[in-house]
Amino acid sequence: MKRRTLLDEARRMQLQRTTRRHFLQGCTTGLGALWMATHQAQASHSVTPHHAADNPLSPLAPPLPAKAKRVIYLHMIGAPSQLELFDYKPDLQRLDGKDCPQEFLEGKRFAFIQGVPKMLGPQYPFQQYGDSGAWVSDRLPHFSEVVDDVCFLKTVQTDQFNHGPAQLMVHTGQARMGYPSIGSWVTWGLGTENSDLPGFMVLLSGGRQPRVGKALWSAGMLPSVYQGVQCRTAGDPILNIGNPEGVTRGQRRSMLDVLNRLNQQSHEDFGDPETMTRIAQYEMAFRMQTAVPEAMDISKEPAHIHEMYGAQPGKESFANNCLLARRLAQQGVRYIQLFDWGWDSHGAAKNEALNEGFKSKCEQIDKPMTALLKDLKQNGLLDDTLVVWSGEFGRTPMRENRGGTEMRFVGRDHNPGAFTLWMAGGGVKAGTSFGETDPIGYEAAENPVHLRDFHATVLRLLGFDHNRLSVPFQGLNQKLTGVLPAKVIEEVIA
């Protein structure tokens, strides 16, 4: 048929251009590549991914051997308290209610703590679980069943103690907007395996949006094609994926057939290679129109799977997103980013207080994140899928006393000095814990892990040397790990 021939022609042309090493057209793969090429002298030891000329997301093998092929990142926006979940501190219990010793306050900057606050013991009982004997509080009864698949990092550190900059630090390595997120680096470096779906997808649980919004899944100075694509569980799963009302798939097909042939005429008139790329992009969009809604439709999952996750199709929830994450991982999406919200437990309001709202937040994530790990495992996906769970910083062992007075609810202030992050699958050492905090869980006592080290480790698990995955911009080889030294934590790699 006519359409076939036209597309064959498009492919042939692209192939031809690829073999001629024509990667310098005036577009993503063109200007971008040109601009990188012009900087090669400075970036001499950096690795620049070379994607196919017509597809900037073509799958690439990583430069180093790696187990992890994809990432599912679960970010609890607001920063959950490590002291109520994973970092068990009996000494803190003994200090509960006492004035905070001056030594803990000197030279510290707090967001809200004033004067001399009181120490606050763990608010929930802890117990050890599994063969690994991991400590978990009674807030996460389901999760405690899978601790032997998990690797805890207890001493993660950041430079920022406010949410916006700290969230940016977690996802871009920088405290200001405008830098590429981990997902962008990874899809730039590895492309994606399913060309009918975006390579980097972002799922939000609903409720409040992260305060810096799309900057958390921005491509920064990388070409915009590597930015995260936000998907919704209600409405269009991707913006404008549905045809306008009254336009059927058949009609869209016949429109595209005409459009393609007119564009082919353009190509004959001008010989602009971008025109052929455009024809291919319209075809990919057409395929995405069926592939994306299908991938995003969790209603087709069997009842026992819904039960396992606690998912309810049609709602915006973390549970639905966990199930979706598994479906997308299965279909070869490279980087799946989930954001949950409501974890900022200051004790300034009931819905976020440690003794109130925090309990229901724990209930909302416990079952689904456990189900995600179990489900990935039973589908054989956990081995090559890296799952990460974190907040953006830790919380203080002192009770927050906003305005210098005791507050109605119980809460903790921000603490950049130490927080817990866990990873599972994707080549991490299961059933382990790395790093120890001091007896009150305030600072790292041994093996501190800066976010830079965590980023270096994630890249290594995916097959990259963090020093080499870089792009020249503003006179500097920009890297996820920035300019300060970062190290891969070999101890957590299996």
In single-letter form, the type of residue at position 149 comes to: D
CB 204 within 8 A of CB 228: no
The CA distances from residue 117 to 89, 307, 344, 404, 440, in Å, are 18, 44, 18, 8, 14
Give DSSP secondary structure letters for 347-364.
SSSGGG-TTTHHHHHHHH
Residues 304-343 within binding reach of other proteins (CB under 8 A): none
Residues 3-22 within binding reach of other proteins (CB under 8 A): 20, 22
Under the criterion CB under 8 A, does residue 165 sit at the interface with other proteins? Answer: yes
- Please say which residue, 4 or 304, places its beta carbon nearer to other proteins: 4
Of 90, 313, 380, 404, the one binding other proteins by CB under 8 A: 404
Of 18, 93, 266, 447, the one binding other proteins by CB under 8 A: 266
Q: Which DSSP helix (H) or strand (E) runs through 420?
A: strand 419-424
Residues 101-140 within binding reach of other proteins (CB under 8 A): 109-112, 114-116
Of 11, 67, 359, 402, the one binding other proteins by CB under 8 A: 402
> Per-residue x/- mask for other proteins, residues 230 to 259, rule CB under 8 A?
--x-xxx-xxxxxxxxxxxxxxx-xx--xx
Q: Where are the beta strands (DSSP E) in 40-149?
A: 70-76, 126-129, 134-137
Of 194, 282, 332, 431, the one binding other proteins by CB under 8 A: 282
Under the criterion CB under 8 A, does residue 208 sit at the interface with other proteins? Answer: yes
- φ, ψ of residue 55 in degrees (nearest 5): -140, 100
| CB 320, min distance to other proteins, A | 14
- Please say which residue, 180 or 427, places its beta carbon nearer to other proteins: 180
Residues 145-164 within binding reach of other proteins (CB under 8 A): 161-164
- Please say which residue, 93 or 331, places its beta carbon nearer to other proteins: 331
CA angle 44, 50, 54 (to 5 degrees): 145
Residues 53-112 within binding reach of other proteins (CB under 8 A): 56, 109-112
Half-sphere exposure of 275 (CA within 13 A, CB side): 16
Dist. CA 157–CA 305, nearest whole Å: 36
Candidates 58-66, 285-293, 305-313, 454-462: pick the segment binding other proteins (CB under 8 A): 285-293
- Please say which residue, 21 or 304, places its beta carbon nearer to other proteins: 21
- Please say which residue, 89 or 346, places its beta carbon nearer to other proteins: 346
- Please say which residue, 137 or 233, places its beta carbon nearer to other proteins: 233
Close Cβ partners of 369 (under 8 Å, ≥ 6 residues apart):
74, 143, 318, 322, 389
- Please say which residue, 60 or 286, places its beta carbon nearer to other proteins: 286
Of 139, 171, 267, 367, the one binding other proteins by CB under 8 A: 267
| CB 290, min distance to other proteins, A | 7
Burial state string for 88-102 with b = 16 or more CB within 10 A and e = fewer than 16? bbeebbebeeeebee
Dist. CA 27–CA 274, nearest whole Å: 7
| CB 270, min distance to other proteins, A | 5
Dist. CA 113–CA 401, nearest whole Å: 6
Of 378, 483, 485, 494, the one binding other proteins by CB under 8 A: 483
- Report CA torsion sign: 466, 471, 474, 476: positive
Q: Compute how many residues bind other proteins; rule: CB under 8 A.
A: 104
| CB 398, min distance to other proteins, A | 12
Residues 75/76/79/83 CA torsion (nearest 10 deg):
-110
Residues 342-371 within binding reach of other proteins (CB under 8 A): none
- Please say which residue, 15 or 476, places its beta carbon nearer to other proteins: 476
Residues 450-469 within binding reach of other proteins (CB under 8 A): none
Residues 313/317/129/382 CA torsion (nearest 10 deg):
70
- Please say which residue, 44 or 490, places its beta carbon nearer to other proteins: 44
CB 227 within 8 A of CB 217: yes
Under the criterion CB under 8 A, does residue 299 sit at the interface with other proteins? Answer: no
**293 token code pair:** 């809604």
Close Cβ partners of 282 (under 8 Å, ≥ 6 residues apart):
256, 259, 260
- Please say which residue, 43 or 140, places its beta carbon nearer to other proteins: 43
- Please say which residue, 1 or 304, places its beta carbon nearer to other proteins: 1
Under the criterion CB under 8 A, does residue 486 sit at the interface with other proteins? Answer: no
